[in-house]
Chains A and B, each alone.
Chain A
Amino acid sequence: MLRLAALAAGLLLATPAAAVMPDEMLADPAQESRARTISKDLRCVVCQNQSIDDSDAPLAKDLRLLVREQITLGKTDAQVRDYVVARYGNFVLLKPPVEGDTLLLWVGPFAVLILGGIGVLLWQRRRPASAADTPLSDVERAELDRLS
């Protein structure tokens, strides 16, 4: 049902024809491969959660061509990315930059792990001497040997 709704919404925007077209591609395979990699990290800003590499929306096509144009102008990957961000803002990046605003996004999961680990350690500490800390007495050990 949820997929259905999402898909139905998506269909209003796009026909199912897949994204990158042969006539958009750069002749130089190395350059084309760079373009594909960059495209995968850029969001089609009018779509729901699709990269411009995946989307068949006209705007995604424009952006794909823009990226390729910049590459053929001799820009580096970072320069191409900056160029697109300058026009569309951080919203266009599928991997948001690490900034004050997004710090929680990047460190949050690791914080959960570390704080959780500390919590478990404290909880273990607070309890009376744990099983591992009390060795068997000689009498107990003798009894254990007798049993086994």
Chain B
Amino acid sequence: MLAEIGHYALILALLVAMAQAVLPMLGAVRGDAALMAFGRSAAACQAVLIAIAFGALMTLFGQADFSVALVANHSAISQPLPYRLAATWGNHEGSMLLWVLVLSLYGAGIARFGDNLRTTLQARVLSVQAMISVAFLAFALFTSNPFARLSPAPLDGAELNPLLQDPGLVFHPPLLYLGYVGFSVTFSFAVAALLEGRADPAWARWMRPWVLAAWVPLTIGITLGSFWAYYELGWGGWWFWDPVENASFMPWLLGTALLHSAIVTEKRGSLAGWTILLAILAFSLSLIGTFLVRSGILTSVHAFAVDPERGVFILAMIIGATGTALALFALRAPQMKSGALFGSISREAGLTMNNLLLMALTAVVFLGTFYPVIMEAVAPANKISVGPPYYNLVFVPLSVPLLLLVTVGPMLAWKRDDLAIVGKKLLVPAAITAVLLAGLTAWTGLANAVAALGLALGGWLILGAVLVLVRRWWGAGGFSWRLVRTTPAASIGLALAHAGLGFTTAGIAAMTTFAAENILVMRPGETAVAGPLSVTLRDAQEVDGANYRALRARFTVQQGGRETTLVSERRFYNNSRNQTTEAGIGVSVLGNQYVAIGDVQSDARGQGLVVRLYWHPLVGWIWFGGLLMALGGAASLSDRRFRIGAPQQRSLPLAPGLVPAE
């Protein structure tokens, strides 16, 4: 019964979305307030219906109702309840349902928090949002129905791989989806602006919180995914330039560009066309990220043919959405008013450079991800692979100028500036960075100059972030608490995010060059060295776990006079015949000690345990920086400017006693 209720709610949601796609748009054209108001109610209604469907599916997983095919195929009674519930989105059909749920929640958000929006713009945004909904609800209902029944129902379901039952995997996908789907809102804003023929500062201010609302969870999602790979996959890799990772990285790069170009449009009215284009492309890449990866096309062109129905549907949606939006852009953008002028040395010019470099970086990832597929289709005889060496060679040189620019940008004045004045402001951080670079190069040797440069760049970014706040807090009359208290949340957000990027950069530089490893066979009592670590294998014994047997080894790690104990396990799961490695990780600010055990093997001195010892300098900074960036985004999002509303030509009468806020 529950499955049928969910299914029915989903069908109703599709009908509501169809009405919402047409009527508010019609209302905006005719100036009919009732039709536009319908959009708001419909968005709320749609969200409730999809929430019912999602709730039904989650309950079915919770009840372990194996008469539903999806539940039977993706969960088992022996699985702990939290992981059974998480299995709701741990499969294609369920994750589609999560996708439309998030989509409709964003739609309801626009209806609820869009009070200060121009009514016609809001109506159009809601209509475009509903068009996307229609496509995905139809996709879910016609090709990936999550509520399909299974008869006869089995007694138990298929057990989920124990390796995947991990808190990191419970939160990673929903966060990524919040990010991907969040860009649907900016897409809708862009299309609505094109339809209205108007993209002014007010439009940009309305849109910017939604860019942040997508960017923040996407940032956390990517960071979490990287961290999960590091501790779970057993050899300490934190980024693999895997197509799956790239798929989330591309919208992030373009979303970051969008975030910055929208600032220009909001403050100066310039770059409106460019902002619209970025909003369209960011969503297209999100779609490509979510679906093309899943269709299997990235493994091989031939994998696409395995499930042609879904694949064709997905491809049609991507081409339809992107193509229509771009055609509209070509038609409308030239007629739109361009904003204020700016000189070649100005904040606007700096942000334009930022955008160009981020576009180039996106192109690196895009070409690296799709080139092999294109080659396979065009010239099957000459298949190629693209891996980390390519990205290191192309991505790194393009990101250096961007990182240099990050600290310069906030020091530039709007409209026009003077290089001499900017140079004077940056003298102190530039001098410190130069000394840092010289010192690091002298200390680590000329051979490691690239790593020294990366570390110095990290310092440059952190110093730049501090400088932003220092310049705000020290006024003409010295330090003032009043200036600290009145710092806008957006400035704090900027400082946090840029500092975060600095920590990540430094972490990557250190980890890439100075990581040390030692792979060898050890017997209890023996000691081995890996970088600054001296590791002794104390003992190894067999232990029994809840649903596994394990070989557990204890290590004593000495570093700089301090001693820690680390435990690594190798687990054998009887049911699923899987093996997992649980690494022992000693975390500190300066780096992680990482030990992992493998099989039993022999070397010249007899039988022992294969042991991998690693020293990972500053690796934690990579994720700390990611979280700091997300925190900065959240701080920016909390800026009161977004809540007071956007500047409008027509001023509203104020209540007595209230002063205009800006």
Looking at the assembled complex, report how far the CB atom of B504 sits from the nearest CB atom of chain A, in whole angstroms: 20
Say yes or no: A51 contacts B294, CB within 8 Å.
no
Say yes or no: A95 contacts B360, CB within 8 Å.
no
A110–B383 Cα gap in the complex (Å)?
Answer: 23
If A6-B242, A7-B164 touch, whether A105 touches B368 (CB-CB below 8 Å) is yes
User: How many Cβ-Cβ contacts under 8 Å join chain A to chain B?
Assistant: 175
Which stretch (A10-18, A57-65, A67-75) binds chain B? A10-18
Say yes or no: B89 contacts A113, CB within 8 Å.
no
Interface string of B341-374 (1 = CB under 8 A from A): 1111000000010001101110110011001000
Which residues of A sit under 8 angstroms from B356, Cβ to Cβ? 112-113, 116-117, 120
B386 within 8 A of A: yes
A92–B155 Cα gap in the complex (Å)?
Answer: 46
If A18-B596, A131-B416 touch, whether A96 touches B519 (CB-CB below 8 Å) is no
Which residues of B sit under 8 angstroms from A3, Cβ to Cβ? 169, 172-173, 225, 228-229, 244
B389 within 8 A of A: yes
Which residues of A sit under 8 angstroms from B415, Cβ to Cβ? 131
B121 within 8 A of A: no
A43–B90 Cα gap in the complex (Å)?
Answer: 29
B41 within 8 A of A: no
If A17-B599, A49-B242, A91-B385 touch, whether A106 touches B394 (CB-CB below 8 Å) is yes
Number of interface residues, chain B, beta carbon within 8 A = 76
A21–B379 Cα gap in the complex (Å)?
Answer: 37
Cβ-defined partner of A101 (8 Å) among B169, B375, B598: B375
Which residues of B sit under 8 angstroms from A131, Cβ to Cβ? 341-343, 415-416
* 8 A Cβ contacts from B292-310 to A: 293-294, 299
Interface string of A76-96 (1 = CB under 8 A from B): 000000000000011111111
A127–B398 Cα gap in the complex (Å)?
Answer: 29
* 8 A Cβ contacts from A86-130 to B: 89-96, 101-102, 104-106, 108-110, 112-113, 116-117, 120, 124, 127-128, 130
Residue ID in chain B nearest A27 by CB atoms? B604
Which residues of A sit under 8 angstroms from B360, Cβ to Cβ? 109-110, 112-113, 116
Residue ID in chain A nearest B99 by CB atoms? A1
Say yes or no: B299 contacts A104, CB within 8 Å.
no
Residue ID in chain B nearest A6 by CB atoms? B244
A42–B244 Cα gap in the complex (Å)?
Answer: 20
B161 within 8 A of A: yes
Say yes or no: B293 contacts A22, CB within 8 Å.
no
Looking at the assembled complex, report how far the CB atom of A114 sits from the nearest CB atom of chain B, in whole angstroms: 9
Cβ-defined partner of A8 (8 Å) among B164, B233, B241, B398: B164
If A106-B394, A124-B344 touch, whether A1 touches B95 (CB-CB below 8 Å) is yes
A139 within 8 A of B: no
Residue ID in chain A nearest B360 by CB atoms? A113
* 8 A Cβ contacts from B197-238 to A: 225, 228-229, 233-235, 237
Say yes or no: A5 contacts B357, CB within 8 Å.
no
A120–B394 Cα gap in the complex (Å)?
Answer: 23
A15–B386 Cα gap in the complex (Å)?
Answer: 24
Which residues of A sit under 8 angstroms from B388, Cβ to Cβ? 40, 51, 94
If A1-B89, A8-B161 touch, whether A91 touches B383 (CB-CB below 8 Å) is yes
Say yes or no: B90 contacts A94, CB within 8 Å.
no
Residue ID in chain A nearest B370 by CB atoms? A105
A142 within 8 A of B: no
A48–B359 Cα gap in the complex (Å)?
Answer: 27
A131–B384 Cα gap in the complex (Å)?
Answer: 50
Say yes or no: A105 contacts B386, CB within 8 Å.
yes
A41–B393 Cα gap in the complex (Å)?
Answer: 12
Looking at the assembled complex, report how far the CB atom of A109 sits from the nearest CB atom of chain B, in whole angstroms: 4
B324 within 8 A of A: no
A23–B598 Cα gap in the complex (Å)?
Answer: 13
Residue ID in chain A nearest B570 by CB atoms? A17
Residue ID in chain B nearest A24 by CB atoms? B519
If A51-B388, A101-B382 touch, whether A21 touches B294 (CB-CB below 8 Å) is no
Say yes or no: B384 contacts A16, CB within 8 Å.
no
Which residues of A sit under 8 angstroms from B612, Cβ to Cβ? 18
Cβ-defined partner of B244 (8 Å) among A2, A15, A20: A2
A132 within 8 A of B: yes
The residue among A7, A22, A102 with the most chain B CB atoms within 10 A of its own CB is: A22
Say yes or no: B579 contacts A94, CB within 8 Å.
no
If A1-B173, A3-B244, A5-B294 touch, whether A90 touches B383 (CB-CB below 8 Å) is yes
If A25-B519, A49-B242 touch, whether A2 touches B387 (CB-CB below 8 Å) is no
Say yes or no: A4 contacts B384, CB within 8 Å.
no
Say yes or no: A22 contacts B601, CB within 8 Å.
yes
Residue ID in chain B nearest A130 by CB atoms? B341
Interface string of B570-588 (1 = CB under 8 A from A): 0000000011110000000
Looking at the assembled complex, report how far the CB atom of A92 sits from the nearest CB atom of chain B, in whole angstroms: 7
Which residues of A sit under 8 angstroms from B382, Cβ to Cβ? 89-90, 101
Looking at the assembled complex, report how far the CB atom of A98 sits from the nearest CB atom of chain B, in whole angstroms: 11
Cβ-defined partner of A94 (8 Å) among B169, B293, B390, B599: B390
B85 within 8 A of A: no
A92–B383 Cα gap in the complex (Å)?
Answer: 9
Say yes or no: B603 contacts A23, CB within 8 Å.
yes
A46–B247 Cα gap in the complex (Å)?
Answer: 22
Say yes or no: A112 contacts B363, CB within 8 Å.
yes
Which residues of B sit under 8 angstroms from A117, Cβ to Cβ? 356
A59–B142 Cα gap in the complex (Å)?
Answer: 41
If A11-B161, A17-B599 touch, whether A105 touches B367 (CB-CB below 8 Å) is yes
B408 within 8 A of A: no
B537 within 8 A of A: no
A5–B235 Cα gap in the complex (Å)?
Answer: 20
Question: Which residues in B have some Cβ–Cβ distance to A below 8 Å?
Answer: 89-91, 95, 161, 163-164, 169, 172-173, 176, 225, 228-229, 233-235, 237, 240-244, 247-248, 290, 293-294, 299, 338, 341-344, 352, 356-357, 359-361, 363-364, 367-368, 371, 375, 379, 382-390, 393-394, 398, 415-416, 519-521, 578-581, 596, 598-599, 601-603, 610, 612
- Extra 5 A-B pairs, beta carbons < 8 Å, given A17-B599, A131-B343: A6-B242, A15-B578, A94-B388, A105-B371, A109-B394
14 A-B contact pairs sorted by A residue (CB < 8 Å): A1-B172, A3-B169, A17-B581, A21-B599, A22-B610, A49-B387, A51-B387, A90-B385, A94-B388, A101-B375, A109-B398, A113-B398, A116-B356, A116-B359
* 8 tightest Cβ-Cβ pairs between the two chains A and B: A94-B387, A132-B343, A95-B389, A1-B173, A113-B360, A96-B384, A109-B363, A112-B363
